[in-house]
Amino acid sequence: MEPSLATSIGKMQLDKPAMLASGILGISLDVFNRLYRSGAGAVVTKSLSSEPWEGYPNPTIFSVNGGGWMNAVGLSNPGASNFAKMIEPNQDVPIIVSLVGSIPKDFEMMINEFKNCNVTAFELNLSCPHVAKVGLEVGDDPELVKKIVTTVKNSTTAPVIAKVGLGTTNYLNTVKTAIDSGIDAITAINTVRAMAIDVETQRPILSNKYGGLSGTPIKPIALRCVYEISSKYDIPIIGCGGISTWEDAIEFFLAGASAIQLGSAIGDNWINVFDDINKGVLQYMKQKNYSTIQEMVGLAKKF
């Protein structure tokens, strides 16, 4: 029997395990459709706010020597209300809407904007490392995380995912608070707070000075976090951070993730990367005699 790439993240079912991570390729439904046809199991939107945000002035992104990217785009987006009008009620692409805000009321309002839309799940951005009063500042506040998760869970029947990152406190506290508050799954991790300086101009390269590091440099960190969360809590996990090959995907499954998200890898091979990973995972499953992805999830914890 041919192995199946289908996977589940709680009650969310996907035909394929690799998704587009939030923040990549904007909010174009045409691009989302192209990625889905090329093998993505779902797409996560850019993080949407209660009102449109312009973001930071350029420069906002650059490639890092040795691989990876650094960005401080500033969560630019058209706002939840404007994006909700773009979603077609009968679209085929599983869309996970990423939301960012600073108070529970922001999230409640945004959830209501999507009540008549075909949304697969909501992902709460509790981990953006370079925008004040949202993201990591929210994720580092357990009481606020509890209020936000509780508010969102009471506002929708769709699965709710918390995206966590490395802030100034132990990220596992954020994970525990989200789980205790009823979260359905965890995405780990977001970009890692970083910076770079131009030696000629002698000034920070990014206009915001600080940004988020993504891509291959953070993969070992992300993998460690998935392993830690999986070892400590019984919660579905989506692995994110530096994944670009089928081998990377397998590592995250073995560490405890049931699905993965791709971000920086899209910049190198955005049309073929999902198909390449799917084919590699299938071949690995055949060689190891696995019929489902779930058979691999967390196997590395045995050692």
Q: Provide the annotated binding site for FMN.
A: 22, 46-47, 125, 163, 189, 215, 241-242, 263-264
- 98 neighbors 83 (Cβ within 8 angstroms): no
- 151 neighbors 110 (Cβ within 8 angstroms): no
CA pair distance 167, 137, nearest whole angstrom? 8
- Tokens, residue 248: 């990377």
Task: State the DSSP H helix or E strand holding residue 213, giving kind and residue range, or none if neither.
Answer: strand 210-214
- Tokens, residue 191: 């970009």
Give the Å distances, CA to CA, from 80 to 53, 101, 115, 151.
10, 11, 12, 17
Q: Give catalytic status of residue 240 as yes or no.
A: no
Annotated binding residues for substrate, as ranges? 46, 71-75, 125, 190-191
Annotated binding residues, as ranges? 22, 46-47, 71-75, 125, 163, 189-191, 215, 241-242, 263-264
Question: How far is C-alpha 50 from the geometric centre of its chain's CA atoms?
Answer: 19
Of the residues 117, 128, 225, 240, which is catalytic?
A: 128
CA pair distance 73, 227, nearest whole angstrom? 29
CA pair distance 198, 209, nearest whole angstrom? 11
CA pair distance 263, 113, nearest whole angstrom? 26
- 46 neighbors 77 (Cβ within 8 angstroms): yes
Provide the annotated active-site residues: 128
